[in-house]
Each structure stands twice: as structure tokens, then as C-alpha cells.
Structure 1
Amino acid sequence: MDSIADMGGMHGWGPAQVPTDEPPFAEPWEGRSFAITVLTMGRISGQNLDAFRHALGRLHPVDYLVDGYYGRWLNAAELMLTDSRILAPGAVDARARRKQGQDVTEPAFPEPARPDYKPTAAGSLREVDAEPRFGAGDVVRTLDLQPEGPTKLPRYVRRRSGTVTAIRPPHVLPDTHAVFAGENPQYVYTVGFPSTELWGPDAEPFTLHVDLFESYLENA
């Protein structure tokens, strides 16, 4: 699933604006949104960090862009609570309109259905019995993945060739972990792509390094 969150390599957005002396939370509501989302992610909804990122990717593109960083967090928290049937769809909107004095019937709270999920270990790093499929210096090509669910393979590096520059420890695969289809740990490789391979012969010359899961790669 290609989401609005996969914005890497897209044209038309202009240069990144890097604020200086930025506080952790510009306004009090941002801190509350942070706390609500962290609590929602684990204790309340029974979901995980990859599921949270998947929720961000499923937000409406307008909401994703307009509501700002912590606005996205709050929207994603609501989506996770809806996924776990702790909130009924539309319940938050109905409560807000009722607070504004509108005559609104709030949806009934459903019976919760939290995912039956427990991690096999702390964190995201795991051990696997197999040896790495690729080695430093290998030339590899990314697959043309078009999954129905989430993926961490950015669109702009699909069907592109690069060189493995480092092998990272096995890591839980977010593609399946986000939808509670197993941890499926696998090696991660740092792959260097020439800028011209990604953006054509007129691109400014440099090498872009991307960390990619083993299942995203094949021998070039």
C-alpha cells in the first residue's frame, strides 16, 4: 500500500524547512497528543509501533498534510482505537459536535477486540539461524513491490540497482508486524544508490544510502 507518508523523492514540495530552537511541544495540546498516542499504542489498543506507523499511512492525505505532526499522531491514535473496537467509527467527531451544542447521538461503544499480540522479545532486533543472503560489495536490485498492506520499501527506490555497503542485524519486518501477521525477522542491508540511478542522468551527483530488508532485494 502506497501511502501519503511515503513522500521521499517526491517533487514539488520545495526545500525542507528546519526550525531552530524548536521546543519539544509548541503548544500544550501537542504534549497531550503525544501521551495519548503512546498509551493508545500499547496499553489501551494492544497494538505496536509498526501498527502506529501503518495507521499514519492510512490517514486521509488532506488530514495528513493539514493537521501537522502531532495532529497526525492524534488521528492515528483514534484509528488504532477504532481498529481495536474500543471506539466506534465517528465517536470522536460526534462527541466534539455535541460539545459544540449540536444535537448528536453518539455511537455506542463496541465490545473491544484488541489484537492477540505479544512480542517474542523486547525491542525490534531478533536473531535468525540463516546467514545473510547478500554481502558488502554485492550489486543488488530492489523489487517492484505493490503490496496491499504496508511496506517500508520507498517508491522512489523500487526497481533500482545499488551496492550493499553494510549488513545490519536482523530486525522485525514492519510489513507483517504492523498487521499482526508475524514478526518475520530478517537482515537489513544498507544499500548505496547513485543519484543518477534514482533521478536520471541530470541529477546532482551523490550516493544515497537506504536501509532495506532482505526480502526487498534480489541479485542484480
Structure 2
Amino acid sequence: MKLQHYLGGLEGLPEPLNLEKKVFVEDWEKRIFGIHVAMMGLSNHLGAALPQYPVEQVPTTFRDEWTWASLRTGAEGMNPFDYFKFRYYEKWLGGISQFFIDNGYVSEEEISALIEAPESAVVEGGDPAIDDQVIDYLRRGDSPRRDVAHPKFAVGERVAIANTPAGAHTRLPGYLRAKVGTVQRIFEGDYGYFVHTGDGIGDPMPIYIVEFTPEELWGPRAEPGANALYAELFEAYLQPIEEVK
């Protein structure tokens, strides 16, 4: 995605953003956050992700994979005009609703009917085993680490950042594409991303912290005295310098 995500450093952007300080602006945002958490805690990938939950035994009709990548893909796939029009949790609502529609859990007509229904008509409660699984997930999480690190690059090595084709989702900041930086740290393990994004990540691989100078990123317009920028990047986004000459 080279449009609405990772806009840092682009020239001609409007005045500094007025960031909302409240975590939840409206009460419904708490509910959509809770729905997302429940979907994460019931996702079928948890059967393979550490610590290997018995998610197949949970009596839920939700039998799909839902990760942070799923949520981000829904947001990044929005029409750019809609993306900038809606607030943070409005994007969540749109992405989650579309996921349920696309996977046959609910229809647009059913959603419309629920919007018109009184709040008392909404069904509450459920099987306690579902709650137990979600709470267990909240306590223990899921780790994408699969092995010790097998890095191709070393600390102190200069690396070039790939300019991969835009896909449905990426973890590569747009303003780092085709830039050159220095490896400052290699994380201890090989880490997967649970889903394959189409731009190189998905299977377990090393993750690096790469340092970039302001001059490298912004050129002669870099502000004097600015600090270096550090980015955590999957190995698929790094290339040897000689490959880009």
C-alpha cells in the first residue's frame, strides 16, 4: 500500500494533526474493540501458534483466521477518501463488518435490520467456554517466534530497503523504500507474521532494527540536529547494497 499508510516524510501534507487524546470517543468503540479481541482469541491460527491453544475444541461458530494483519488489511483496502474521512475505530468497524459479510457470517440486510432494531433486541451472553478461551488468550497471548535467528545480515552492515510491489497489506513503511540504512540490532528469533502478505513476509524470518539518518530519508531538506530514525523490519525487506547498484 503506497497511499494512506505510512505517510511520514511526504511533502505537502497539511498542518500538524490534531490527535484525539481519548482512547474511546464513543461507547460503541469499546464494543468493536471487544469484538476484535474476541476474534483474535478464537482465531483458528491459535491451534498452531504458540502456546498452541485447543481452539478447535471451543464451541464457537467462528472458524476463521483473524489477526492484526486481517484488521490492517481491511483498513488498507479502504477507498483512500473513506480512509481519511473516518476515525480510527470507524475503520475497525468497516473492516470487521466486511470480514463477517465476506465469510458468510452475516448479510448486509441483517446488519441493516440490527441497526434499526432497539438495543434490547440484541442477544447477550454465550457459552462460558468461549469466554474462557478469550480470557486465556488475553493472559498468554500468541508468539510468532518459531526458532533462533538465522540472519543474512550482521550488526553494523549497511543495507538497502526493497521497493516491493504494493499488495493488500504491507509492514514496510513507504518512506523507507529504496533507502539505505545500518543494521543496529538483530532480534533473537525468527518470527512469522501468521499470514502471507504477498510482499515477502509470512514465513518465519529474522527481524532487524535499522538506523536511518535524516539526510538519507529527507535529503537536503532534513532539519538540522534531527535524530536518527530506527525501524523494525522483516528480513524480506532488506537487500545487500550491491544488489541495488
Bin for the TM-score computed over the shorter chain = 0.7 to 0.9
The CA RMSD measured in Å over matched residues stands at: 2.9
Identify if the C-alpha distance between structure 1 residues 68 and 173 changes in structure 2 by more than 3 Å, giving closer, same or farther: same
Counting only pairs closer than 5 Å after superposition, residues 93-108 of structure 1 correspond to structure 2 as 94-95=112-113, 99=116
Q: Residues 78-107 of structure 1, C-alpha deviation per residue, up to 9 Å, x if partnerless? A: 12212322233x44664378x39xxxxxxx
- Distance, in Å, in 1 between the alignment partners of 2:143 and 2:14 is 32
Relative to the length of structure 1, the TM-score reads 0.75
Gaps in structure 2 of 5+ consecutive residues: 43-61, 118-139
Q: Residues 182-204 of structure 1, C-alpha deviation per residue, up to 9 Å, x if partnerless? A: 94011111111111211111211
Amino acid at match of 1:6: Y
Aligned length: 194
Relative to the length of structure 2, the TM-score reads 0.68
Partner of 1:215: 236
Structure with the higher fraction of residues in helix conformation: 2
Structure 1 residue 27: Cα displacement: 2.0
Residues 74 and 95, structure 2, Cα contact 8 Å, conserved in 1: yes
Residues 142 and 160, structure 1, Cα contact 8 Å, conserved in 2: yes
Partner of 1:4: 4
Counting only pairs closer than 5 Å after superposition, residues 69-218 of structure 1 correspond to structure 2 as 69-88=88-107, 90-91=108-109, 94-95=112-113, 99=116, 123-128=142-147, 131-169=150-188, 170-173=190-193, 176=196, 183-205=202-224, 206=226, 207-218=228-239
Q: Residues 80-138 of structure 1, C-alpha deviation per residue, up to 9 Å, x if partnerless? A: 212322233x44664378x39xxxxxxxxxxxxxxxxxxxx962431336621111110
- Distance, in Å, in 2 between the alignment partners of 1:202 and 1:184 is 38
Identify if the C-alpha distance between structure 1 residues 124 and 36 changes in structure 2 by more than 3 Å, giving closer, same or farther: same
Amino acid at match of 1:199: W
Structure 1 stretch 59-68 or stretch 166-175: which is displaced more?
166-175
Residues 40 and 80, structure 1, Cα contact 8 Å, conserved in 2: no
Residues 144 and 193, structure 2, Cα contact 8 Å, conserved in 1: no
Amino acid at match of 1:8: G
Partner of 2:134: none
Identity across the alignment (%): 29
Gaps in structure 1 of 5+ consecutive residues: 101-120
SS at the partner of 1:53? helix
